[in-house]
Amino acid sequence: MSAVAHVWQQLEDWLFSVDEDEVVLNLFPGASDVALAKTTKRIRTALAPSHRELLQIHDGTEHQRIVWGEELLAAADVAYSWDLLDDWVRTGAFNGKHATPVGPVKAAWWHRSWIPLTYDGAGNYHMVDLAPEPGGTVGQVIRYLHRAPERTVVAPSLHEWLGDLVTELRAGKWRVHKDDLVRTDETSL
């Protein structure tokens, strides 16, 4: 079993232990080769092998925020989100915006080599970085906040990013609330 498959199984095991009837049933089956090929064509590059593998395990979630409190994007949604951001670049929507890199990530508001992975419903993403700055790792996971200038490397790889989530789940830092994963310190719920 690969590192991504292993850590994803740990995530599912935790979810089953908490709310097996509601959470895991809203995970889509794995993406087909055809769906992945369509996504690759639209984003004009190959997915990172770990991202591709994750999509082959589950092709996203059905409007359910279970990965770091965000929706895991399906292959078609990866392409849609990438297209949307690319349109904004081409139309100049990001002109004059200056990003602040935190870690070995490009100082760009958005870059075509950042592939959407999760979405919070408010314009913010975790993305797989296919062209990191020196010292970074191809496939590292970055945080993209649409209104904040920081572009932050949050993990050197997808499996480590998921592993960090599993560690936090086991430490009690997250809980399931209305079928979504939320931090236990969120009091507004």
For residue range 129-157, list pLDDT tens digits in order: 999 999 999 999 999 999 999 999 999 99
Q: How crowded is residue 134: how many other Cβ atoms within 10 Å of its Cβ?
A: 5
> By the 8 A CB rule, do 36 and 52 touch?
yes
Least confident stretch, 22-26, 52-56, 171-175: 22-26
- Indicate the angle between helix axes 49-57 and 33-43, nearest 10 degrees: 140
Mean pLDDT of 114-129: 95
Q: Where are the domains of the chain?
A: 3-183
- CATH pick for 3-183 out of 3.65.10.10, 3.20.20.70, 3.40.1580.10, 3.40.190.80: 3.40.1580.10
Residue 15 has pLDDT above 90, yes or no: no
Q: Taking the mean position of all CA atoms in its chain, how far away is CA 138?
A: 15
> By the 8 A CB rule, do 164 and 11 touch?
no
Burial tier of 169 (Cβ tally within 10 Å: 0-12, 13-18, 19+): buried
Q: What is the overall mean pLDDT for the chain? A: 90
Residue 162 has pLDDT above 60, yes or no: yes
Q: What is the pTM of this model?
A: 0.91
Residue 99 has pLDDT above 60, yes or no: yes
Instruction: Give the model's confidence band at 189: pLDDT under 50 very low, under 70 low, under 90 confident, else very high.
Output: very low
What local confidence, expressed as pLDDT, does residue 169 receive? 86
* 150 or 176: which leads in pLDDT: 150
What local confidence, expressed as pLDDT, does residue 55 receive? 96
Residue 16 has pLDDT above 80, yes or no: no
